[in-house]
A and B are shown apart, each in its own frame.
Chain A
Amino acid sequence: MAVIKVPPPPVDRNVFFQVAGYFAEIMKGMRLTLGIFFRQLLRMEKTNTLEWPEQPADYGDRFKGKHFLTLRDDGKIRCTACFLCATACPADCIHIEASEHSDSRIEKFPVRFEIDILRCVFCGMCEEACPVDAIRLGPEYAMAGLAGDKWVYTKDYLAQRQELVGGVESIKAESAKHIDTGADKRRSYLRHGVH
């Protein structure tokens, strides 16, 4: 059997000096890391790490967290049950049941409005689709829970949960949202007519 002889690679005696540059860079990096580590350890510098949940985190106004339903000035639910959010929803997690409202000016409202939060992908398309600004994704982000918890948010929970009171600044006053053009005050005589 033929044996192919492979010559051994030449020994480079200057290998340490060739990679010495890397060690220098590592030391530079460690200087920064350890510098911050010790400065923060000795409280010479503010740390960016939050001790959540003792310390609250703020994700800003545009965060798309837990949904809520907005209310009219008189406390009635703003949603008109038009199903546009349910239509736009890619996760098919919004379930609405519409009915006739006793107030003829409102006409249609949801008797049931449920979000299956486990299916929700927080894309915000419901918020975008809503023609009356009735559904929003709020700043609440802590949604962990146990198996026994209610994972289907009901209408009451979405509109009136404790955490919402004073917690959502972005709900504008009705007057600020619909600029008064005088149209509401102008009543057609027909409104008071025979009909």
Chain B
Amino acid sequence: MSIAITINDKEYQGQAGQTVMEIAKANDIYIPHFCWHPGLSVAGVCRFCMVAVEGRPKLEIACNLPLAEGMKIYTANAEVEEAHKWALEFHLINHPLDCPICDQAGECGLQDYYMEVGKYPSQMQADKVLKPKALDVGTDLVLDTERCILCSRCVRFEEEVTKTSALGIFDRGDRSIIGTYKDKKIDHNYTTNLVDICPVGAFTSKDFRFQKRVWFTEEVNSICPGCSTGCAVELAFNRKLQRYYRVKPRASEVNGQWMCNFGRTVYKHLNVEKRLLTSQVWDEAKGKQQALATSQVLAQLAAKLAVAQKIGVLVACQYTNEEYRSLFSYFAKLNASFWQWRSDSEDRTAFDGILMRGDRNANSGGFEGELQKLDLQSSGGFADFCANSFDVAIVLAPELPNTFANIELQLQKLQALPFVSMWSCASVMLAYSYQQLVAMRVFTEKQGSFTNYDGRVQPLPQTMAALNQNCVDVSAAVALLQVSAHDDQVSNHDSQQGA
């Protein structure tokens, strides 16, 4: 049933059961709030989202105000503005103002609202109540109870989303603190969400703590490649330093408001120290890899492919649909066999009930779908691949090696094959004696799409140029192979004619 209301003398349509806050959020109407969160229940404890309703004697909180037909709401009159201002001072009474050492500074609700609705001279004369600071309360979490404004978002998250109920509010009045139970720590795979939902700096992430002030980073949208769920994420990126600092969830239909702790680590392999920046060929005399331009490495590979009888392509399911398409269509012409590289210990159907899936590859759906489109089949897994003796083995390594249980053993095993062209983005590959290393791009450097567990094709935007010109995506590598093969044919043709 549709309900018509007016907000600031403008008409809006809402559904029965919606609250004023929800309709305001949907229409980009500004109502300051702390405790309300779209992914959590309504608590109504911060008393900050005050709005005036015509015909009612007192201000009401928008988050717990259900729509009623003909309701007239004002979000910005003098009375409401006063209420916001003094509600904010109330929240700041015992707040320590240690913004210089607080990681939340720059994205803090208290700072933002002070500039937007506050700007009052403080009238507090009494000393601030001191509370415990910098407590290690669990996985990736540091708790500062002094900074907390007791909005109870974290308590509700623990109760409603992860159902672990590890947090509570203890004591009374101005001595109330957020805390864990005695000798218990918060330990699950979703703890960093507490850092995201905390509107102040009470929860900070151990991983991101003191790494970068947030105003030096920009948020770039992407898709998490950590498992087959494909959560929408935003990465904190410093364009000048070309570095990523953290991953945060972005609200979407796939993941709602949240993401798991494993997904928070998918930025680490993007930074320069973990990257294979130039392609390499194995120098037998020196016993180590020698850097070579990617186009030259691929020209050598093309020459090798031209004479090879048996070609095997081992592919991890962490590349984009577009890359698979070009890879499969090219190598199918060379009568190569395709092999799917998966972790030994994975349980593809496993699901933790919130977001994370046992299939830890971003694009298993894409791999299988693209094979099907070309009427091809996967010949088998890793063990079968190693059992064959290929003249040329092309291996597309997983972008996230830590999604595999024992990747090192498998990488060592591959060294035994006669000719391995390893396509990878990771610098650890330099330690192995593969005949070729081709420097690949990572998921933020290429444009394409991932198909998640549900068959949903999600576009993956390119957020930065490749760290090095030599890094290519699979499509570009295949194009280079094609060009080299064509050149070879032309030159062979010429030489035959000459003879």
Q: Are B135 and A195 in contact (CB under 8 A)?
A: yes
Which residues between 90 and 126 of chain A lie within 8 Å of chain B, taking CB atoms?
98-100, 104-105, 107-108
Smallest CB separation, B136 vs chain A (Å): 10
Docked pose: A83 CA to B179 CA in angstroms:
30
Docked pose: A195 CA to B175 CA in angstroms:
13
Q: Are B209 and A100 in contact (CB under 8 A)?
A: yes
A84 proximal to B (CB < 8 A): yes
A30 proximal to B (CB < 8 A): no
A-chain residues with CB within 8 Å of residue B128 when the two chains form the complex = 183
A46 proximal to B (CB < 8 A): no
A-chain residues with CB within 8 Å of residue B130 when the two chains form the complex = 183, 186-188, 190-191
Binary flags per residue of B126-144, CB closer than 8 Å to A gives 1, else 0: 0111111111000000000
Smallest CB separation, A126 vs chain B (Å): 14
Smallest CB separation, A70 vs chain B (Å): 15
A-chain residues with CB within 8 Å of residue B30 when the two chains form the complex = none
- Which applies to chain A's interface (DSSP): helix, strand, loop or mixed? loop
Smallest CB separation, A105 vs chain B (Å): 8
Q: Are A186 and B132 in contact (CB under 8 A)?
A: no
Q: Are A195 and B210 in contact (CB under 8 A)?
A: no
Q: Are A82 and B100 in contact (CB under 8 A)?
A: yes
Q: Are A81 and B179 in contact (CB under 8 A)?
A: no
Docked pose: A195 CA to B127 CA in angstroms:
22
Docked pose: A190 CA to B177 CA in angstroms:
10
Q: Are B127 and A191 in contact (CB under 8 A)?
A: no
Docked pose: A190 CA to B133 CA in angstroms:
10
Smallest CB separation, B378 vs chain A (Å): 47
Docked pose: A87 CA to B210 CA in angstroms:
15
Docked pose: A193 CA to B175 CA in angstroms:
12
Which residues between 84 and 116 of chain B lie within 8 Å of chain A, taking CB atoms?
99-101, 105
- CB-CB nearest in chain B for A97: B210
A-chain residues with CB within 8 Å of residue B101 when the two chains form the complex = 80-82, 107-108
- CB-CB nearest in chain B for A84: B100
Docked pose: A193 CA to B128 CA in angstroms:
18
Q: A84-B100, A98-B210, A104-B134 are in contact. Are A194 and B182 (CB under 8 A)?
A: yes
Q: Are B179 and A195 in contact (CB under 8 A)?
A: yes
Q: Are A107 and B134 in contact (CB under 8 A)?
A: yes
Q: A107-B134, A190-B175 are in contact. Are A99 and B129 (CB under 8 A)?
A: no
Docked pose: A39 CA to B4 CA in angstroms:
95
A41 proximal to B (CB < 8 A): no
Interface size on B, residues (CB 8 A): 24
A131 proximal to B (CB < 8 A): yes
Smallest CB separation, A21 vs chain B (Å): 65
B-chain residues with CB within 8 Å of residue A107 when the two chains form the complex = 101, 133-134
Docked pose: A193 CA to B145 CA in angstroms:
13
Docked pose: A100 CA to B133 CA in angstroms:
13
B-chain residues with CB within 8 Å of residue A186 when the two chains form the complex = 127, 130
Smallest CB separation, B215 vs chain A (Å): 7
Of the listed residues B134, B145, B182, the one surrounded by the most CB atoms of chain A closer than 10 A to its CB is: B134
A-chain residues with CB within 8 Å of residue B268 when the two chains form the complex = none
A168 proximal to B (CB < 8 A): no
Binary flags per residue of B200-241, CB closer than 8 Å to A gives 1, else 0: 000000000111010110000000000000000000000000
Q: A80-B100, A181-B127, A183-B127 are in contact. Are A191 and B134 (CB under 8 A)?
A: no
Docked pose: A138 CA to B127 CA in angstroms:
35
Q: Are A191 and B132 in contact (CB under 8 A)?
A: yes
Q: A190-B177, A191-B130, A195-B132 are in contact. Are A132 and B182 (CB under 8 A)?
A: no
Q: A87-B215, A108-B101 are in contact. Are A81 and B210 (CB under 8 A)?
A: yes
Docked pose: A17 CA to B215 CA in angstroms:
74
Candidates B100, B175, B177; contact of A132 at CB < 8 Å? B100
A-chain residues with CB within 8 Å of residue B216 when the two chains form the complex = 83, 87
Candidates A87, A187, A193; contact of B213 at CB < 8 Å? A87
Smallest CB separation, A100 vs chain B (Å): 7
B-chain residues with CB within 8 Å of residue A132 when the two chains form the complex = 100
- CB-CB nearest in chain B for A186: B127
Docked pose: A187 CA to B131 CA in angstroms:
9
Smallest CB separation, B47 vs chain A (Å): 24
B-chain residues with CB within 8 Å of residue A104 when the two chains form the complex = 133-134
Q: Are A108 and B210 in contact (CB under 8 A)?
A: yes
Smallest CB separation, A72 vs chain B (Å): 14
B-chain residues with CB within 8 Å of residue A87 when the two chains form the complex = 213, 215-216
- CB-CB nearest in chain A for B105: A82
Docked pose: A107 CA to B211 CA in angstroms:
14
Which residues between 167 and 195 of chain A lie within 8 Å of chain B, taking CB atoms?
181-183, 186-188, 190-191, 193-195
A-chain residues with CB within 8 Å of residue B215 when the two chains form the complex = 87
- CB-CB nearest in chain A for B171: A190
Smallest CB separation, B168 vs chain A (Å): 13
Q: Are A99 and B132 in contact (CB under 8 A)?
A: no
Smallest CB separation, B165 vs chain A (Å): 19
Docked pose: A191 CA to B133 CA in angstroms:
9
Smallest CB separation, A82 vs chain B (Å): 3
A-chain residues with CB within 8 Å of residue B133 when the two chains form the complex = 104-105, 107
Docked pose: A57 CA to B100 CA in angstroms:
37
B-chain residues with CB within 8 Å of residue A194 when the two chains form the complex = 182
Smallest CB separation, A161 vs chain B (Å): 25
A-chain residues with CB within 8 Å of residue B213 when the two chains form the complex = 82-83, 87
Docked pose: A190 CA to B211 CA in angstroms:
29
Can you offer 10 A-B residue contacts whose CB atoms are under 8 A?
A83-B216, A87-B215, A98-B210, A98-B211, A131-B100, A181-B127, A182-B127, A183-B127, A183-B128, A188-B131
Extra 8 A-B pairs, beta carbons < 8 Å, given A186-B127, A194-B182: A81-B101, A82-B99, A83-B216, A87-B213, A108-B101, A182-B127, A193-B132, A195-B179
Residues of B that sit less than 8 Å from A by CB: 99-101, 105, 127-135, 145, 175, 177, 179, 182, 209-211, 213, 215-216
Pick the 9 closest A-B CB pairs, nearest first: A82-B100, A98-B210, A108-B101, A188-B130, A195-B132, A83-B213, A80-B101, A183-B127, A131-B100
